[in-house]
Amino acid sequence: MVADKNNVRRKVVCFSDFDGTIFMQDTGHVLFDKYGCGAERRQVLDEQIKTGERSFRDVSEEMWASLNVPFENGFDVLADTLEIDPDFREFHTFCAQNDIPFNVISAGLKPVLRKVLDTFLGEEDSARIEIVANEASINEDGSEWKPIWRHDSEVGHDKALSVNEARIQARDNCGEDEVPLIVFIGDGVSDLPAAREADVLFARKGLRLEEYCQEHNIPYIPFDTFADIKREIEKILAEDQAKTGGHGKPLRFNPRANMWRRVSSKQAVPRFVAMTPSKEERMFLWPETFSELKAGQPDAAALKTPGVTTSAVA
C-alpha cells in the first residue's frame, strides 16, 4: 500500500566533498609538498590532469607514491596547516540532533581523511561521519603509499555511482511515509558527477562549482559557510513539518523525490540513467586548480544566483 502523498516527509541525507569544502586546503597537497614530490612537480602533474594528457588515477598514484613519511608523522603538518570551515562543527551537531546522516565523499584516501576528522573533531564526533573514499596500503616506515581504488575507472572513485548506491540504501531505510532527499555540498567541477545525482546542490560561493553551475544553468544554492547550509536544511524540515501537519504543500518538492513517492513498494527500485559527463566534468582537478577564481570575476555576493533549487540534474 502506498502512503498518502500528502503526508510524505523527505528524509534528508547529506554528502559533502572534503578538500576545499569542509577544509579550505587540500590534504594531499599539504602532504605532497612537505613529504613527497614537492609543489613544483605537483603543479606539473596537475596540468597533465587538466589537459587530459594523463588520467586522475594515474597522476594520483604517482603523487601518493612520492610520499616518504610514516602515517602518524605526516599529521603534524596537516594539523598546523588545515583550516576547517568555521561553522562545520555546529552543522555536524545539527545533523546528529536531527537524525540526518552526514557522509564525506572524496577522491582522496579514507585513512587520511579519517585521521584529519579525528584530529579536528575528536574521535567520538568523527565516528558519526561515514567516509566514502578510496582505501590505502601504507607500509610501516612510510616509504610506500598506494591507493586502493573504489572503482575500476580512470578517476578511481565514481562519485556518481556512490551517491546512487547511497540513495538506494536510504530508500530501504526510509519509513513508509518517507522519501530520501539527497543533499550534496561541494566547491569544484570534479564534484559535478556526484552533484548531478543529488536533489539539492550547495556550491561554495565564488569558486569553480558555482561558476560552472551559472554557465550551464544548473540549479544550486550558494553558501559561504556551513551555517548557510544549516539554515536552508532547517527550511526543508520546517516545510515538511507544516505539510504533514495539514498546513499546505511545502515550497520545495523536487522531481527526483516525487519519483520516489511513486514507487509502490519497498522492493521496487527505480532504474537510474546517469548523464554522460562532459570532458571537463571528468577531469578530477585538484582544488587549487578548479577552485581558482577567474581573473576579473566579480565578487560572489554581486552575482545573481538562484536561491532555491528543485533538482541538481541539468
Q: Measure the CA–CA gap between 202 and 224, rounded to whole angstroms.
A: 10
Cα 285-79-228 angle, rounded to 5 deg: 65
Catalytic residue status for 17: yes
Q: Which of 4, 19, 172, 199 is catalytic?
A: 19
In this structure, what is the dihedral angle of CA atoms 23, 25, 126, 17, given to the nearest 10 degrees?
Answer: 70
Q: Which of 17, 158, 187, 240 is catalytic?
A: 17
Could you tell me how far CA 171 lies from the centroid of its own chain? 19
Catalytic residue status for 19: yes
Q: Can you give the C-alpha Rg of the chain in angstroms?
A: 20
Active-site positions read 17, 19
